[in-house]
Amino acid sequence: MPSARRAARRFQWLGSILIVAKRGHQRLTCEMSNVRRFSSSIHRSLLALIAVVAIVSSVVPSASGAPGSMGSNVSSSAIASPEVTAQSVFSFDMATGITLYEKNPDERMQIGSTVKVVTALVVMEHGNPSDQVLIDESDTVDITVFSNMQLQAGDTLTVGTLLYGLLIPSGNDGANALARHVGLDLCGCDNPEDARDAFYQAMNDYAAELGLENSRFTNASGVDADSTYSTARDIAILFRELMRNERLAGIVAEPAYQFTSAGPENRTYQESTTNDLLGQLGVIGGKTGTTPEAGACVVLARQVNGGSNTVITAVLGADVEYQDSVIVDGSDERWNDARAIFGAMDDQFAWVTPGAEGTFPGLAEEMAVWQVEFNDPPTIPYPSTDATTAYQLVLHGRGGTSDEDGAVRLYYDQEQVGSVPIYSTAAQSPGLANVAGR
C-alpha cells in the first residue's frame, strides 16, 4: 500500500481533473488545490479530507435535484419531448433514474384513475392480500358512469382479488372496498367514511415519504376533485414503486382475470385490462385514468435494450372527448402520444455502458486513477442526437452509512439527467481509498 506521502505526491501529479464533453471532445478542467508537504500525521488527515471531494467545473451546471439512482426524485431532461397532445409527460429509466423526456413534469393536475397506483401501494403496505372483505353497499358504484369490477354488496372477496379488480379494469368499487377495509385497521374505527379518510391520509403519507411534494389525494379511485392532484413526475415515480413490488407488477402484466368470490355466493368475476398497449412495443404493465377534468392519462412500464432496462413513462392530460359520460370512439389520444414517445425514444437514444468508447471520453481513465468502479455496470440511455454530454465524478468520504463511494453525474446539454453510483476498488487493489479511509 502506498504511503501517505506517496499518495500526496500522487495528488500533485494529477494536477487537474477533466470533465469531458461529447461533441468536439472539449476538455473542461477544474483545478485541485495543491497538496503541500506536512508531517506524516497531518498527511493522513489531509488525505481523508481530500477523499471527500466533488469534481466540479463552472462550465458544467450544478446538480438541480436528488439523483434518480440515489433517491426518489429524478432530474431534468435536456432532450425535447416529441410533439404530443398530453399536457404533461415524464419518462425515465427505472434502474438509474436518468430522465429521457419531460413536458411540464411538475404541473399539478387531475390524474384520473392513475391514482389507483397509490391505492395499491398503500394496500400492500398496510393490508394483507389473504384477508377476506365483505362488500358493503357503500363500496359499489354506478356502473353506467364509473369504471368498475361489478362488485355486488354481500359478496366476499380477498384483498388479493380486489387488487386485480382495482388495477386491471380500474374498478372504482374495488378502490372503495380496499380503502374501507384497510382504513378500518388504520383508524381503529367502525365507520366506513372515517376508515376511508384514514386510508387517504395513508396515501398522502406514502407520497410524502418518497419526497413527492406535488401530490395530494382525497379519494382512492381518482374521481375528479379539486383537492386531489398529482404530476407526471410524481405518478411515474409512484409507478416505479409499484413495478418494484412483485405482486403488483404481476397484476398489471395480466391482460385479463377470472376468479370466483370467496363467499358462499361463489360468484364468478372476470374483466379485461384497460391498457391498450399491454404486450406491444415492450410494454409490460401500466395504469390508465380518464375523466373529463383529467383528460386521458396513462403510466406505462416498457422494456427496452433487449429487456435489460425498463422505462417508466407518464402521459397526463392527453386529448379525449366525452359524450354522455362515454369516451367518443377515436378521440383518445394517449395511446398515440405514448407511441410517439416510444418511437422517439428508439430513434434518439442508444443504450450503452457509461465510459464505453465514444460516450464519455476520459471517464474510464479517471475512475481507474481514483480506484472506483461501477457495480455491475448499468446500461444507460445515451443520446444519439447532437446533444452535448458531460459528466461529474463525485467522491464521498469513507465510513458513512452508504455502501457507495460516490457517483458519476451525467449531463445532456448542460442539464443533469441522473447519476450512477460508484464503489471503491480498494478491496481488489491498494490505493488512495485505503489511505484516506484509515
pLDDT tens by residue, 35-73 = 333 333 333 333 333 433 333 332 333 333 333 333 344
Q: Residues 341, 387, 376, CA angle at the centre, nearest 5°?
A: 80
Asked if pLDDT for residue 418 goes beyond 70, the answer is yes
Q: What is the mean pLDDT of residues 370-377?
A: 88
Please tell me the least confidently modeled range out of 42-51, 170-179, 325-334.
42-51
Asked if pLDDT for residue 78 goes beyond 50, the answer is yes
Please tell me the least confidently modeled range out of 97-106, 305-314, 325-334, 389-398.
389-398
Domains with residue ranges and CATH for the chain: 14-33+50-66+353-436 (no CATH), 88-348 (3.40.710.10)
- Going by pLDDT thresholds of 50, 70 and 90, the confidence category of residue 138 is very high
Out of 22, 103, 116, 287, the active site residue is 116
Asked if pLDDT for residue 198 goes beyond 60, the answer is yes
Distance of CA 60 to the CA centre of its chain: 25
**Residue 93: burial class (beta carbons within 10 Å; 0-12, 13-18, 19+):** buried
Q: What is the mean pLDDT of residues 357-375?
A: 89
Reply yes or no on whether 170 is catalytic: yes
Note the pLDDT of residue 434. Answer: 32
Q: 334 or 34, which is more confident?
A: 334
In the three-class reduction of DSSP (H, G, I as helix; E, B as strand; rest coil), residue 329 is classed as coil
- Going by pLDDT thresholds of 50, 70 and 90, the confidence category of residue 396 is confident
Q: 364 or 298, which is more confident?
A: 298
**Residue 199: burial class (beta carbons within 10 Å; 0-12, 13-18, 19+):** buried
Cell 386485480 -> residue: 164
CB 346 within 8 A of CB 305: no
Note the pLDDT of residue 306. Answer: 94
CB 44 within 8 A of CB 4: yes
Note the pLDDT of residue 401. Answer: 54
Asked if pLDDT for residue 13 goes beyond 50, the answer is no
- Largest Cα separation within the chain, whole Å, is 84
Asked if pLDDT for residue 26 goes beyond 60, the answer is no
- Going by pLDDT thresholds of 50, 70 and 90, the confidence category of residue 18 is very low
Asked if pLDDT for residue 354 goes beyond 90, the answer is no
Q: 17 or 115, which is more confident?
A: 115
Distance set, CA 185 to CA 123, 208, 269, 353 (Å)? 11, 21, 26, 47
Asked if pLDDT for residue 75 goes beyond 90, the answer is no
Q: What is the mean pLDDT of residues 2-28?
A: 34
List, for residues 155-174, the tens digit of each pLDDT value: 999 999 999 999 999 999 99
Out of 77, 81, 147, 170, the active site residue is 170
Q: 384 or 216, which is more confident?
A: 216
Which residues lie below 8 Å from residue 370, measured CB to CB, with a gap of 6+? 393, 395, 432
Q: Partners of 131 in the beta sheet?
A: none
Reply yes or no on whether 64 is catalytic: no
DSSP 301: E
- Going by pLDDT thresholds of 50, 70 and 90, the confidence category of residue 74 is low
Note the pLDDT of residue 435. Answer: 29
Which residues lie below 8 Å from residue 307, measured CB to CB, with a gap of 6+? none
- Going by pLDDT thresholds of 50, 70 and 90, the confidence category of residue 357 is confident
Reply yes or no on whether 325 is catalytic: no
List, for residues 200-256, the tens digit of each pLDDT value: 999 999 999 999 999 999 999 999 998 999 999 999 999 999 999 999 999 999 999
- Going by pLDDT thresholds of 50, 70 and 90, the confidence category of residue 197 is very high
Please tell me the least confidently modeled range out of 6-20, 133-147, 281-295, 318-332.
6-20
Q: What is the mean pLDDT of residues 399-404?
A: 64
Note the pLDDT of residue 228. Answer: 94
Q: What is the mean pLDDT of the chain?
A: 82
Amino acid at 71: G
List, for residues 245-294, the tens digit of each pLDDT value: 999 999 999 999 999 999 999 999 999 999 999 999 999 999 999 999 99
Out of 77, 81, 113, 221, the active site residue is 113
